[in-house]
Structure 1
Amino acid sequence: MQWIIPAVVLLVLGFIMHFSGMHFNKALYSSSYTCLTAGAAGILFAGFYVLVDVYGYRRLTFVLEWMGKHSMMIYILAACNLLPIFLQGFYWKNPENNIFRLIGIKS
């Protein structure tokens, strides 16, 4: 409840500001946008906390745990375009037989 109550207050405050004339605007990081995203993140965090720590559903968050452990490698692969180069760079006999074609994605 210590996370849900402030998160809901921020969401309501964000919507009140939006409908009062201060619209959601990510480019300007308006106050309504900031309240909305902080409130949504707080509710999401509280939901994951209840699922994982209270009820013990760790299987549902395995991918998120893996991404947290390997976040720097994921960032490097995505930011430097190494992942697409890696996936298209390995092929069998001709360039059209790459990993993308194997999993059904047209490159």
Structure 2
Amino acid sequence: MAFSKVVIVSLLVSLLLLNLVEAADETVSGNVAQGSTYGKIDCGGSCAARCRLSSRPRLCKRACGTCCERCNCVPPGTAGNQEVCPCYAKMTTHGGKRKCP
């Protein structure tokens, strides 16, 4: 009887640890720098967050969407932080201005 209780408790502890490891793995993969090779990011959501304070949100989202599709990266925040996404920061228009908001 005592042996079966030990087996059941150790099985439950093992399942709990496995669940914690999987949760930690999902958290780490969700926090991987945007633009990684782990998959495409949600450009619509990222650009909506980036452009939410823009005076021209539709134009901002369109430009941001183009940059995001090409670079698979959108800097955090509503402005600045360009160093997080070098590809995003280097894109320019034909006139030499920064393309990405």
Q: Give the TM-score range, shorter chain.
A: under 0.3
Provide the TM-score with structure 2 as the length reference.
Answer: 0.26
Bigger fraction of residues in helix? 1
**Bigger relative contact order (CA 8 A; separation at least 6):** 2
Provide the TM-score with structure 1 as the length reference.
Answer: 0.25
